[in-house]
Structure 1
């Protein structure tokens, strides 16, 4: 029996999975991400954890098809990371270094792209080979898949849809340094920002005014209760995100758009606001694009990383 490892490196933990060649998840576990000293221990720690698991399962390198890595940074097709925000790495030849450490074949990709690959393979995009994945969390992550392959790009930054500009008049800065990015309106923090702006406009009664800690969850919980102000906020969110996705769809023509991340826990009600706006602006050939919720949760990264190997 042949196996592979799917590894999802995060700023706090490294999620790890052992998969059979047919895609069955055999085991999953986590280790701490040690980012001190410019993250010098991360890849050696991953290597030790892989070797330990192989020993536990009685596996040798002859049984392992390879190791797939998802990394929270741009990753080129050659497996090179130019820089990272939260791992401590600068320029790093991840594929080469990991192959030297393990003596096994390695493939690496951006974590959002890899999560998209996982959802295409085993989750909300299953059965489709052309897909956009949107992760609505603290920020807005994205992955674009065309003909079953992730769009990587020259600098490894393909699919960074959260940093497309959707408001040319915005004065506040996004975390990336730009202004008017999709992330400033459609992320969990962006929805909270929209809510604060709306509540400051007037004194119209709203459940949201009773919240001690305003959040995206609070907004959609209020929407489900019919709160008018919350519905206005959700409508604005849906219009901004729906219009942006219509533009992106005109470029890559997806069969399905999969929505994941913490905000997706609001459920199908999201689509009432996103899909309507999407269809208003979509190119006629894209109007039947389907919307689906992500299904793999925290396993999307390890599944997609494994899929880098199990092509």
Structure 2
């Protein structure tokens, strides 16, 4: 008999809702703006309504859905269904599960968004076939999720997997969004890459608004041209493109990024000895120009065992990772997560 669940991936900008079957296929997907400024109650109502909407579009009776999981930024408490603090939503101590469960009449669960994405990749994505798996997302920030013996490892306070806030630069590190200094996120996220590239341009003597000639080969010239002289337009994608074109300044920024990020990945490998680590998020679109140096750093810095056996691979589920992972959490709670028994210890 077919099992239907719904995964809701709640972010600061958008909400993705997916009707998912018990094989991990997204049958119907809806994306809408979060609009957190309207307050938690309105956002929760929007998520609740989206469950019925994906069912309607797929021609599935809402009553056929057996459970719903909301994947949300944390810190949060999955046991109580309460988001403790979500800065990008402006939420503190918000009960998500209670009102949704009352409205939908089915079990509703809450999970950290990075953990959900990791669980989805483990189930039907880049971690398929593994027992121990780590997912790292490198985008505006850096986050992650850890799967041990087929279960999400949340830690004592459900805060495990915060690789972005492991300290990489011990002395005089840049300020991170968390308020501390030297975090991996501050130097190797998309935001960190852009900031370091702008600092490098300024140190090289470039000024806002400059328009280098096509023949100008000074370090940074290609990056400045790509940004049309506007430093605010510089992002990780433009830095990567400038490096691809041979800009030595952009290449140095990326080389240093892979050094930082590779050290962070080696730390994960040394701590957890996973079968595989998958890299997702917007920065991962750089592709093999990113993955090859990261694999080299992992081989160099990890201890024997992880250095030889831990695979570093690109994530596969893309924007559906959170939705599929949330659905997988629901299926596991129902005792209906298929095809994983032989992988769990």
Instruction: State the TM-score, normalized to the length of structure 2.
Output: 0.83
Deviations 1:141-172 (A, max 9, x none): 21111112222123322111101111121354
* 1:91 equivalent in alignment to 2:93: yes
- CA distance in structure 2 between the aligned counterparts of 1:222 and 1:68, rounded to whole angstroms: 41
Question: In 2, Cα distance between the equivalents of 1:195 and 1:2?
Answer: 49
Partner of 1:251: 271
Alpha-carbon shift at residue 2 of structure 1 (Å): 2.4
Greater displacement, 185-194 / 37-46 = 37-46
SS in 2 for 1:83: strand
CA change 1:243–1:55 in 2 (3 A) is closer
User: What do residues 178-221 of structure 1 show as CA deviations (whole Å, max 9, x unaligned)?
Assistant: 11110111111111122233334446534224342322112222
In structure 2, how many angstroms separate the alpha carbons of the residues matched to 1:83 and 1:148? 27
Query: How far apart are the structure 1 equivalents of 2:322 and 2:298?
Result: 27
1: CA distance, partners of 2:194 / 2:90 = 29
Is residue 245 of structure 2 the alignment partner of residue 225 of structure 1?
Answer: yes
Structure 1, 225-234 or 139-148: larger mean CA deviation: 225-234
Match of 1:294 in 2: 315
Is 1:166 aligned to residue 187 of structure 2?
no
Whole-Å Cα distance in 2 between the matches of residues 214 and 52 of structure 1? 38
**Which residue of the partner structure matches residue 71 of structure 1?**
72
Question: Which of 298, 305, 315 is residue 278 of structure 1 equivalent to?
Answer: 298
Residues 22, 215 of structure 1: alpha-carbon distance in 2 compared, 3 angstrom cutoff: closer
Q: 1:151 aligns with which of 150, 153, 158?
A: 153
Aligned partners of 1:239 and 1:278 also within 8 Å: no
| Segment of structure 1 superposing worse, 27-36 or 66-75 | 27-36
Q: 1:211 to 1:76 in 2, by over 3 A?
A: same
Equivalent residues of 1:14, 1:31 under 8 A apart: yes
Match of 2:288 in 1: 268
- Please state whether the residue corresponding to 1:91 is helix, strand or coil: strand
Deviation at 1:52, TM superposition (A): 4.1
For the 8 Å contact 1:76–1:152, the answer to whether it is kept is: no
Instruction: Specify the alignment match of 1:305 in structure 2.
Output: 326
Distance 1:55 1:239 in 2: 48
Deviation at 1:55, TM superposition (A): 5.0
After superposition, give the CA deviation of every residue in 1:16-45 in whole Å (9 maximum; x if it has no partner).
Answer: 111122322211112332423531112222
> How many Å apart are 1:53 and its aligned residue?
4.1
1:65 match: secondary structure: strand
Partner residue of 1:59?
61
TM-superposition CA deviations, 1:102-133 (whole Å, max 9, x none)? 21112211111111112222222222232221
Rounded Cα–Cα distance in structure 2 between residues aligned with 1:140 and 1:157: 14
Of 159-168 and 40-49, the range deviating more from structure 2 = 40-49
Which structure has the larger Rg? 2
TM superposition shift of 1:49: 2.5
- Per the TM alignment, residue 264 of structure 1 is displaced from its structure 2 partner at its CA by 0.8
Distance 1:102 1:88, change over 3 A: farther
Match of 2:143 in 1: 141
TM-score (normalizing by structure 1): 0.92
| Alignment partner, residue 24 of structure 1 | 25
Whole-angstrom CA distance in 2 between matches of 1:93 and 1:283: 43
**SS of structure 1 residue aligned to 2:305:** helix
Match of 1:41, SS?
Answer: helix
In 2 relative to 1, CA 58–279 (structure 1 residues): closer, same or farther, beyond 3 Å? closer
Contact residue 197 and residue 253 of structure 2 kept, 8 A:
yes
Task: Please say which of residues 175-184 and 91-100 is displaced more in the overlay.
Answer: 91-100
Contiguous gaps of at least 5 residues in structure 2: 206-217, 228-232, 333-345
Mind listing any 5+ residue stretches in structure 1 that lack a counterpart?
none
Contact 2:277–2:312 (8 Å) recurs in 1: yes
